[in-house]
């Protein structure tokens, strides 16, 4: 999906919501366990119930890889059910070099090789440009680089002063030389508040993937107050508060209701800036 297509979907749906498909076999409704692939059935129903309210889906690969071959099958089939009107993000946080990175890219971007054809992937930047560029070699695919995260351990490195700026700001400046805002996004945790202002100094119109709204306690209003750009520039992810809104047979309808709450709030915010 190209940048202009993503922006068009935000305008059509009045939403910048991403639904995280962090699907845990131990947390899905018990009745689904009678299906041949309970995880896939759960994901399909979530997607069917919410696809008109969100502009992206983000499976976290760990929830699938942990189940071995069956998990990979669920992930491959889930990727095929994400509609083309939604950005498909694989949250894999890969970060290696050379041929290894090329193979990771092939795994998630080459349907003839793996059966998966995601639009975007999350990448850890610690090993530098040669861990990122193999993913950018795939036309029209996005790299979503970890920039400023909300976890406690993120403070170990991300705020180190590097001379003129902090490490996370240095990462953004360097990564901007590898690709433009039509191929590069950044991950910024929802609890970072006014740090979004500093990030916008270095990435004024890049899209930011923002996890942590919902069950993790991040504030959508704060994210938008400091992080919105002229092109919206935000993809706000919510996982558990949507997909696990109910453990009963009404789980998909309840997921839709929770997604609708966020979408309605987003529509009001976008309307307020004339977007």
Q: Which residues are catalytic?
A: 93
Cα 213 from Cα 150, distance rounded (Å): 11
Relative orientation angle of helices 167-175 and 195-202, to the nearest 10 degrees? 30
Nearest 10 degrees: Cα torsion 223, 121, 67, 63: 0
Cα 97 from Cα 86, distance rounded (Å): 29
Q: Around 207, how many Cα atoms within 13 Å sit in the side-chain half-sphere?
A: 29
Cα 53 from Cα 35, distance rounded (Å): 27
Q: Tell me 137's DSSP state.
A: T
**Inter-residue contact 18 to 236 (CB < 8 Å):** yes
Strands 208-210 and 234-238: parallel
């Amino acid at each position: 999906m190209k940048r202009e297509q993503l922006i068009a979907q935000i305008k059509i749906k009045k939403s910048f919501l991403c639904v995280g498909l962090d699907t845990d076999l131990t947390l899905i409704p018990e009745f689904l366990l009678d299906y041949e692939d309970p995880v896939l059935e759960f994901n399909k129903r979530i997607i069917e119930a919410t696809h008109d309210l969100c502009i992206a889906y983000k499976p976290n690969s760990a929830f699938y890889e942990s189940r071995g071959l069956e998990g990979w099958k669920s992930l491959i089939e889930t990727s095929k059910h994400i509609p083309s009107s939604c950005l498909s993000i694989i949250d894999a946080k890969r970060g290696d070099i050379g041929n290894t990175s090329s193979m990771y890219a092939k795994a998630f971007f080459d349907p003839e090789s793996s059966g998966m054809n995601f639009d975007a992937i999350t990448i850890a930047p610690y090993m530098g440009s040669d861990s990122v560029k193999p993913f950018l070699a795939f036309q029209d695919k996005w790299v979503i680089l970890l920039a400023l995260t909300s976890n406690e351990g993120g403070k170990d490195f991300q705020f180190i002063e590097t001379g003129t700026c902090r490490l996370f700001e240095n990462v953004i400046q360097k990564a901007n030389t590898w690709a433009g805002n039509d191929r590069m996004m950044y991950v910024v945790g929802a609890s970072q508040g006014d740090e979004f202002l500093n990030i916008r100094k270095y990435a004024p119109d890049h899209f930011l993937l923002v996890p942590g709204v919902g069950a993790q306690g991040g504030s959508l209003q704060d994210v938008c107050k400091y992080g919105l750009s002229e092109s919206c520039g935000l993809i706000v992810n919510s996982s558990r508060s949507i997909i696990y809104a109910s453990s009963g047979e009404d789980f998909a309808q309840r997921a839709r209701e929770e997604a609708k709450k966020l979408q309605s709030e987003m529509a009001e915010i976008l309307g307020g800036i004339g977007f």
